[in-house]
Chain A
Amino acid sequence: MAGPLAKYAFINAKLRARISNILPDETFGQLEKAVSIDAALTLLRDTAFAALETVYSATGDLRQAELELLKKEIDLYKDIRQHVHPDSLELIEALLYQFETDNLKNAIRIFFDRQVRKRPADAGEHYIIYERIVHDIPFDIIVNARSFDEVAAACEGTPYRGLIRKFAPTVEADTSLFRMEVALDHLYYERLLAAIAKLDRKDREIAMRLAGVEIDLQNINWILRLKAFYDMPLEAVLATIVPGGLNLNKAVIHELYQAQNVTSVLHDVVTTQYPGLSAMLSARASDLASRLLLIRRILDEILKQEIRRILSGYPFTIGTVLAYFALKRNELKRIRTILNAKQYGIEPERIESMF
């Protein structure tokens, strides 16, 4: 069995060098202050994101530039997959599932809007990734499908087929894809946690911790969406929660819905494990939405601290790989948010709160 040095020495050195290429906060500050989307893109000219400007100035279409960004992100995972030790391959593969899941959700949404909701086409099919991500899924069949049976048949040989068959009657009855999308997300996290469980003890602990914070963030994002768009009852919200969160399990979320004071929910976690964030607990949040937003900010900070902890600790673990992915994800998210904000003419002062 390979030791940690043999497993991670190369990938650790490679990724640490790449981490130094992640855009600094100063660049994001300049991007936020850019007077237009064109001006923002020119600032990315001398960076690894130069292709965005090329695509945008050729088409004027930000969604195409974003698609380019997404493809780059997927290529990044595929590239790392080539360099990791076979023991970590399953984990990287599991992480790639998130892109396939999102792509599948987008494709199903296009089919569903046209076929079930009878809404006119919105050109969404042009922003689907038709190339293989993990499985050979013919996405054009899904986009052009006339029934869920055809969609499920297109997913033959993948873990999605069973789920689509199972939830098709429900989503058709509800005329909402919500339950199917939640089930697909759960599937992704189940696979991720299963892949983590197969790692050796030290790697498992690190990966579980980082994945736990990300699951917390995912859960909070779900809850925010449910509250804002559906105003669902607590029981339905609890059913959507992805298990495996680090700080927010079902009991905590239950309490969060009832509690008036956010500090009571996260107080123990923050004061014992992340004392540097204690000041955030004193922020006032009057309604549920602002309480949840505050928690998301705290969780974001917790994720950053976890990444810092990993990068300043023992280097020969899966942590460096996962920390790099998390940092890259954050970088791409920030770029995407800023460019969209510029497209819609949002004031620079408001952009920071959109991350």
Chain B
Amino acid sequence: MFTTQMTQLFAVALRRDCERVTEVLLRAGVMQFVRVSDLAEGPAGLATVRPEGELTEITDLRQRIEGVLRTGSITPRPPDEKDLSVRTVVDMDKERKALDRIAGECESLRERQRGISQEILRLEDISRQIDLYGLSMSEAAASPRHSFISMQIGRIPLSRARDFEGNLKPLPSLAVPMGQEQEMAHYLLIYMKRDREQLEKILARAGWMDVELPAELRSVKKDAARELTARLDKLRTEQKKLETTVAETIRKEAERLSSVWTTLRVNELLHQIQAHFKSSARTVLFTGWLPSEKRESLTREIRKACGGRCYVEWRDLDSRDGIQEDVPVEFRNPRMLAPFEMLVSNFGIPRYGTIDPTPFVMPLYLAMFGLMFADVGQGIVLAVLGMLGTYLLKGRKTHEGLYRLCWLIVWCGLSAVLFGALFGAYFGMRLFEPLWFDFHGIVAGHGSHSRTISDLFDILAITIYFGITVIALGLAFNWINMIRAGLWIDLLFDKGGVLGAWIYAGGIYIAFFMVSHDYKALPAGNTLFMLVGLPAVLLFLKEPWHYFTHGEAHGGKKPNLGLAFMSFLMQWIVELLEIFSGYLSNTLSFMRVAGLGIAHVCLMISFFTLAGMTSGAMSVLILVIGNVLVIGLEGLLAGIQALRLSYYEFFTKFFHGTGKLYSPISLRSEN
């Protein structure tokens, strides 16, 4: 119910045992370290254990390796205890050089890829033009107005063929070899008209001579198009091969790089731990927080690592130490509560020593959801979808949040099934008798077959009772937190304190009294005064109490009592208004649960009415679409509204969310 009890460890060990102790601390992975230099009464004049530059160097190299591995779609394995025990020395310079080599290889592959890519783009340019306007043998021919390509046939000396082809590469062009004859190479040349000037220079250098297109070569257009496609295919295959080669280059080195990464990660973690230490000439000092139950085992390990040559001191925090801002907070809930823990941590982390609301959020959230979305069939669909999500996302670290959300959907589905059975709703139909009352029947005006719940007002009343229970629970938690923190005055005067709750309870009594007397009578004057008058009057003392107990805040000046009285009066009135309007709106806010439940039923009734107007397949289709819409929209709405009620009507009564999450340095640490 409360956050895990934490203990602060202070230890002094000999410098020569420093490495062994650090290893023990990393292996245990339970300490959230505090920098000795950050301690308010910390010792002065101590040095760091290692220069900060070393850690930066290790981190940089590790990140570089990680970057390379990720490029090859390889995620390095986090270190385990074996990696900690068997550590090899990493030759940083050698590894840097190896990485430079890999980077160089990859870069040259990328360079080749770029070259091929440019070639592909140029040929695609030609290809696009051919697709658009076809091929023409000369400008004089009946070429389409916007054809940008030109084609000519000619021959060059065979000895210049290679240079000729190379020189053409920067231009969008296609030189199709058409055979050789007496040391001369024949080409069909296709190029963009815009490049004529550049091309003419290349042709002149190659000793190009135009040749008449013989009649038997009229099919050359087809050949050119085929050649173009073939070249493009070849280039694309080559491009794909290069892409694979980049990945292969990395994969070839992956095993070794992963192993170096793991060693570096272990060293980095050890350095991170030691960055919190301070040392004298012969000793090291360190401190941090850990769950109290781990205290004995860690002490034993530290002493063992030092051979007993160390001093260990503990500071246990119990309830008398009150609520602390700077103590890390560990959630300790069963795994089944993980989705609800996510809802809580999304709002904030509870302060150390206060109540962790997770176990209470589960039944409250699910009850609210179930009341708003009560249907066995739709609940089963929701649960199945949630299960499917968990199956698909299981083990994917980057989708941890989504995975938990899927579990939340499973829980919501089960809640909908339970409430659906209670209200007798099965895909909007009444297949079985309701276990509690017929929600659909009441909304549709058919009655409920229940003696206790017979109309919409009874349904609204259920949610009001539910709201009062939730708010009362929040107030109770607030009191417990304040008592544990020893905030006695706040316990009395706080809006969620005794006086606030007294007024709220009085208000509830008066409201029920009026309802039971058909809104025609109020409780007797004395009773009214005792219920709300007295606590309201007592609340007036709050501001004077603060004013006079914090007298030094006035800077020793004589206070102006007249002005102060006016200020007390104003603040009292404002506070009373806040309490009355706040509690009233908080309670009535829960009526939305009934409202959405009614809307859910109304939507289903509407779809059944629509389906009734048709028949056969159309009728079934309407019902299917209706159910899908209701599951999608109403499910989302119910989830959001239940969350809103939890956050704003429940959490705000006691939950500050200003705590710090416990994140020890361990072999599984991610940062």
Contacts and interface: CB of A to CB of B under 8 A. Distances in A.
A60 B118 contact: no
B71 A39 contact: yes
Most B CB atoms within 10 A — which of A35, A118, A120? A35
A36 B103 contact: yes
B111 interface: yes
Interface string B106-129: 100111111001100110010011
A121 interface: yes
Given A57-B246, A60-B110, A144-B148, A36 B67 contact: yes
A34 B65 CA distance: 11
Interface in A193-236: none
Contacts of B170: 120-121
Interface string B253-292: 0000000000000000000000000000000000000000
Given A60-B110, A60-B117, A121-B198, A42 B125 contact: no
A121 B239 CA distance: 23
A115 to B, nearest CB: 8
B458 interface: no
Given A60-B114, A144-B148, A35 B64 contact: yes
A33 B121 CA distance: 32
Interface string B189-232: 00011110110000000000000000000000000000000000
B70 interface: yes
A123 B122 CA distance: 8
Interface residues of B, number: 38
Given A38-B68, A59-B117, A120-B198, 8 more contacts: A36-B67, A39-B68, A39-B70, A58-B240, A58-B243, A59-B114, A60-B113, A61-B113
A46 interface: yes
B71 A42 contact: yes
14 contacts: A35-B63, A35-B64, A36-B68, A38-B106, A39-B68, A58-B113, A58-B243, A59-B117, A60-B111, A61-B117, A115-B194, A121-B170, A126-B118, A126-B125
Contacts of A64: 117
Contact of B63 (A33, A138, A143): A33
B114 A61 contact: yes
B399 to A, nearest CB: 9
B398 interface: yes
Contacts of A61: 113-114, 117-118
A141 interface: yes
Contacts of B128: 140
Contacts of B393: none
Nearest to B124: A126
Contacts of A144: 148, 192-194
B71 A38 contact: yes
Contact of A59 (B129, B194, B197, B239): B239
A114 interface: yes
Nearest to A146: B194
Given A35-B63, A57-B243, A46 B193 contact: no
Interface in A99-137: 114-115, 118, 120-121, 123, 125-126
Nearest to B121: A126
Contacts of A121: 170-171, 195, 198
Contacts of A36: 67-68, 71, 103, 106
Nearest to B193: A144
The 8 A-B residue pairs whose C-beta atoms are closest, nearest first, are: A39-B67, A60-B113, A60-B110, A59-B117, A126-B121, A42-B70, A38-B71, A144-B148
B109 A60 contact: yes
B320 interface: no
Nearest to B197: A118
A34 B148 CA distance: 43
A58 B243 CA distance: 6
B162 interface: no
B72 to A, nearest CB: 9
Nearest to B148: A144
B67 A59 contact: no
Interface in B564-591: none
A138 B68 CA distance: 43
Interface of B: 63-64, 66-68, 70-71, 103, 106, 109-114, 117-118, 121-122, 125, 128-129, 146, 148, 170-171, 192-195, 197-198, 239-240, 242-243, 246, 398
A24 to B, nearest CB: 15
A60 B117 CA distance: 8
Interface of A: 33-36, 38-39, 42-43, 46, 57-61, 64, 114-115, 118, 120-121, 123, 125-126, 138, 140-141, 143-144, 146
A17 to B, nearest CB: 13
Contacts of B148: 140, 144
Nearest to B132: A140
B113 A35 contact: no
Contacts of A146: 194
Contact of A42 (B67, B106, B117): B67
Nearest to B70: A42
B244 to A, nearest CB: 10
Nearest to B112: A60
A257 B64 CA distance: 45
Contacts of B171: 121
A42 B64 CA distance: 13
Contacts of B117: 59-61, 64
A123 B121 contact: yes
Contacts of B112: 60
Contacts of B103: 36
Most B CB atoms within 10 A — which of A34, A39, A60, A115? A60
A317 B197 CA distance: 56
A319 B297 CA distance: 60
B32 to A, nearest CB: 21
Nearest to A57: B243
Most A CB atoms within 10 A — which of B110, B146, B198, B246? B110
A123 B171 CA distance: 8
A165 B243 CA distance: 46
B298 to A, nearest CB: 33
Given A60-B111, A64-B117, A140-B148, A125 B125 contact: yes
A57 B240 CA distance: 9
Contacts of B146: 138, 141
Most A CB atoms within 10 A — which of B67, B103, B109, B148? B67
A142 to B, nearest CB: 11
A198 to B, nearest CB: 36
Contacts of B118: 61, 123, 126
A140 B172 CA distance: 14
Contacts of B121: 123, 126
Most B CB atoms within 10 A — which of A59, A120, A123, A125? A59
Nearest to A110: B194
A203 B118 CA distance: 46
Contacts of A38: 67-68, 71, 106
B187 to A, nearest CB: 21
A34 B195 contact: no
A59 B120 CA distance: 10
A153 to B, nearest CB: 11
A126 B511 CA distance: 76
Contacts of B68: 35-36, 38-39
A151 to B, nearest CB: 13
Contacts of A57: 243, 246
A133 B587 CA distance: 54
A87 to B, nearest CB: 28
A57 B197 CA distance: 35
Nearest to A130: B128
Contact of B67 (A35, A46, A120, A140): A35
Contacts of B125: 125-126
